[in-house]
Amino acid sequence: MPVNAIRRKEVFEMIPEGGVATRKWLMKKGLSRHALDNLIKSEQLKSVVNGVYTRAGSKLTWQGIVFSLQSILHLPFVVGGLTALEMQGLAHYLSMSDKKTIHLYGSEKLPQWVNAMLPDVTFVRHSEDELLGINKSKDKRSNTSIKDVNSLKEFTVLQTWKEGLEALVVSSQERSYLELLMEVPQKISFEHADQLMQGLTSLSPRSLQKLLEQCRNIKVRRLFFWFAERHNYTWLQKLEPKKIDMGTGNRMLFKGGILNKKYKITVPEYL
């Protein structure tokens, strides 16, 4: 087999259909500058943005970009929040924006090139510390991969939509709803969060208990129980609230709302 054919085969094995890779990563994998330039000149590789490449003929999608972050470049990002719920068929809320927002959770900064790839998609990176505040000593997300994710109750693996790309690592239903509550009411309305809770009929009490105990965000804990009690699912009765710190003092979450005395949060009167 000619050398250029061998090189092309190697590159195509490294970058599945729909995936992307950086020049730096490809060179770490053994490709020289000369080899890369030849692959680009021969149109076997296509430059998407400066220093980022895909296979010729590949169609870029947000799923392909996330797959590339997780399984090609091995960067610690997980699909979470509203995006994770949408992927699991639990969010049916029409956005008025022309752009689709993809919520990623991770311990590192999102590479700048990610938001230069697709004009109709915005990737938003959320910091674990700023949002859920999960104790890093207990959290395994920073090293999560396709291989070990099935052993973690906080995450799940979802098959992607096309051949070539295998799967995406996504926050579980339990974790993604808690991630979403961090955005209430600034970016997610009470009504939207309540609608989403309506679909969470089969959450795992064991996973919820663990996550709620680890989560250091008092607002998220209080909101979760308030929304859950409105629907009174069977799994709620199996939780142990006494083991979960709800903090002290009132929290004003909704201007002009009424105070829920049990959880000490102001909520919309109409709910």
pLDDT in tens, the chain (271 residues): 455 677 777 888 889 888 999 999 999 998 888 888 988 998 889 999 999 999 988 889 999 999 999 989 999 899 999 999 999 988 776 666 778 999 999 888 999 999 999 999 999 999 876 555 544 433 344 344 444 444 345 677 665 555 556 688 899 999 999 999 999 999 999 999 999 999 999 999 999 999 999 888 899 999 999 999 999 999 999 999 999 999 999 999 999 999 999 999 999 998 8
Round to whole Å and give the CA distance between 33 and 117.
23
Same domain, 162 and 69: yes
Report the pLDDT value the prediction gives residue 263, as an integer from 0 to 100.
95
Collapsing DSSP states into helix, strand and coil, what is residue 102? strand
Considering the domain architecture, whether residues 73 and 41 belong to the same structural domain is answered as no
Q: Quick one: 190 and 232 in the same domain?
A: yes
Whether 242 and 147 share a structural domain? yes
Q: Which residues pair with 169 in a beta bridge?
A: 157
Predicted structure pTM score: 0.86
Same domain, 31 and 141: no
Instruction: Say if residue 170 is in the same domain as residue 262.
Output: yes
pLDDT in the model for residue 159: 59
Provide the sign of the torsion angle of the four alpha carbons 258, 263, 264, 267, taken in this order.
Answer: negative
Contacts of 271 (CB under 8 A, 6+ apart): 190, 191, 194, 230
Task: Please indicate, yes or no, whether residues 227 and 110 belong to a single structural domain of this protein.
Answer: yes
Regarding beta strands 52-55 and 100-106, do their DSSP bridges make them parallel or antiparallel, or are they unpaired? Answer: unpaired
What pLDDT, on a 0 to 100 scale, did the predictor assign at position 8?
A: 73
- For residues 221 and 186, membership in a common domain is answered with yes
Final residue belonging to a domain, choices 37, 55, 73: 55
Strands 100-106 and 121-127: parallel
What are the angstrom distances between the C-alpha of 146 and each of 89, 156, 159, 164? 21, 9, 11, 15
Question: Domain total for the chain?
Answer: 2
pLDDT of residue 138: 39
| DSSP H or E segment with residue 193 | helix 190-198
Query: What is the predicted pLDDT for the residue at 250?
Result: 94
Helix (H) or strand (E) holding 221: helix 218-231
- The boundaries of the domain holding residue 41 are 3-55
Specify whether 46 is located in the same domain as 85.
Answer: no
Same structural domain, 27 and 155: no
For residues 22 and 44, state if they share a domain.
yes
Q: Is 98 found in the same domain as 16? A: no
Contacts with 29 (C-beta within 8 Å, 6 or more apart), sequence order? 14
Element (H, E) at 229: helix 218-231
